[in-house]
Amino acid sequence: MQIVIALFDRFTALDAVGPHQVLHHLPGADVIFASERERAVTDESGTLTLRADAAFADVPRPDILVVPGGPGQADQMTPGPLQDWLIAADKTSTWTTSVCTGALVLAGAGLLAGRAATTYWLALPELARLGAVPKRERFVFDGKYLTGAGVSAGIDMALALAGRVAGDDEAERIQLAIEYDPRPPYQSGSPATARAELVEKFTAASRFARTAG
């Protein structure tokens, strides 16, 4: 079972590594990071560099494809290596998935038209503009399309996918393997639970400031 995680400059590392950490535990999983060519790809912070071990051309027919988000998503919204690969790979994929603003890339490629989907909380209005039906959920299944909310949601999304692919027992085994028993020391992980003043300031400072809300 080939699982390809797409990388692009200024991606958000946890968007990609959260699902990797879950999915590489699946029996028979062959997880591959890919980009337009084999290269080192640096994240949004400029301080984390992951190696893309394959070019998109090397992995034309993944069983599962995962598109992370991050500030670099804005450069992936028009035809180019990632979009071209996505559109072609989606024709034969079993699952087409995203984390965070990776959903905007899927939507930009025309893959989420009329479909229920989620994304980073600040990007939900943008997802609607791109033709999807935005849902404020941790992850959303619509047929073979599975989209996760922001950044850390890739872990929840991938566990749900593991359950669909390999059964509940296997997903539970993986959850135990990664001791995923979250205990956030604050309750500020969603605009619904964070202080209103923080949400307001954060929204105003974000790259979605003009489109959010």
Q: Smaller CB distance to a second copy: residue 18 or 83?
A: 18
- Asked if residues 56 and 36 have their Cβ atoms less than 8 Å apart, the reply is yes
Q: What is the helix (H) or strand (E) element at residue 52, kind and residue range?
A: strand 49-52
Other residues' Cβ atoms within 10 Å of the Cβ of residue 191:
18
Q: Give the integer Cα–Cα distance in Å for 104 and 129.
A: 10
| Min CB(135)–a second copy separation in Å | 13
Comparing CB distances to a second copy, the nearer of 91 and 186 is 186
Nearer to a second copy, 87 or 128 (CB): 128
SS3 of residue 150 by DSSP:
coil
Q: Compute the distance between CA of residue 179 and CA of residue 187 in angstroms, rounded to an integer.
A: 20
Structure-token pair, residue 111 = 């893959």
**Which residues in this chain contact a second copy in the complex, by CB under 8 A?**
12-14, 17-18, 20-21, 24, 30-33, 40, 45, 47-51, 53, 100, 120-121, 138-139, 149-153, 155-156, 159-160, 163, 168-169, 171-173, 175-186, 188-191, 193-195, 198-199, 202
The residue type at 52: A
Cβ at position 105, least distance to a second copy in Å? 17
CA distance 26 to 23: 5
Q: Is 100 a catalytic site residue?
A: yes
CB of 157 to a second copy, least distance (A): 9
What token pair was written down for 157?
């999304």
Closest approach, Cβ 99 to a second copy, in A, equals 10
The one catalytic residue among 17, 100, 111, 162: 100
Q: Based on CB atoms, which residue is closest to a second copy, 100 or 132?
A: 100
CA distance 139 to 151: 11
Q: Which residues are catalytic?
A: 100
